[in-house]
Amino acid sequence: MESQVPGMGGPAVTVSKADVAYQAIVAGIQAQRYEPGDRLVLAQIAAELDMSVVPVREAIRRLQSENLVAYERNVGATVVGIDPVEYQTTMETLALVEGFSTAQCAPLVTEAELETARKINDKMRAQVDGREEFDPPEFTQLNKQFHSVLFEHHQNAHIHDLVHRGWNRLAALRSSTFAYVPGRAEESVAEHEQLLNLIKSGAAFAEIENAARQHRLNTLNAYLQHTEHTTERNAS
């Protein structure tokens, strides 16, 4: 039920078939291959992944615990969507755990990793300053890559897991916040630069944690303001 994959500069990492199935289904949700309401047919997924239904069933249960999949009697496992309230609670929770994780991992971030993050942020900047066409889904993916460089040091396994759960739940929206509030993209790039400077300078835990947490909340607040204005316009 397990296989070995090469680690990055270290020993091979053990990956279970259930993990493989989980990642495959999440990727399908992110790519909109599985839309809200779609059934997840265990036998079909197992055949596509060349494995038995047992690890697929385990992956489905994990997705249920993360509210990405629901089980309906006489229907089976189906993909669920995230409503605006769920989006808000997910973003608020992610702001807390990702902020803490980023601050805790900051002393472990190397110069090479800071440079990698800067290059990713430069690609994002190219979209907001007009050098490249603004692509909200791609911008969102680059945003995830940027933050992953900063919190993938496994300082606290439980918090690390919660951060990933938050990102996966956001992915289930199957859209980008930046598609609704493109003006937020420019602010986000500037806040990324500020965060990198804090980490590079060895700023205090509380300062980095606050910057990372507020960065996430700023995106949420921009979306909530957009939603409020849209509701007011439709009502008038």
How do residues 11-65 score in pLDDT, each as one tens digit? 444 678 999 999 899 888 766 688 778 899 999 999 999 999 999 999 999 998 8
Please choose, from the candidates 235, 197, 194, 199, the residue with its C-alpha nearest in 3D space to the C-alpha of residue 214: 194
Residues 175 and 216: their CA atoms lie apart, in Å, by 17
Percent of the chain with pLDDT over 70: 86
Describe the chain by its helix, strand, coil percentages, rounded to 5.
70, 5, 25
Residues 110 and 3: their CA atoms lie apart, in Å, by 29
Q: How many helices (H) and strands (E) does the chain have?
A: 10, 4
Domain boundaries, the chain: 2-79, 84-235
* Mean pLDDT score, 88-97: 94
The CATH number fitting domain 84-235, selected from 1.20.120.530, 3.30.300.30, 3.30.750.24, 3.40.50.300? 1.20.120.530
| Interval 155-173: pLDDT, tens | 889 999 999 989 888 876 6
The CATH number fitting domain 2-79, selected from 2.40.30.260, 3.90.1280.10, 1.10.10.10, 1.10.357.10? 1.10.10.10
Question: E strands, 9-98, where?
Answer: 13-16, 69-72, 76-79
* Mean pLDDT score, 180-191: 90
* Mean pLDDT score, 183-197: 95
Model confidence at 232: pLDDT above 70: no
Say what the pTM is.
0.69
Residue 235 is predicted with a pLDDT of 58
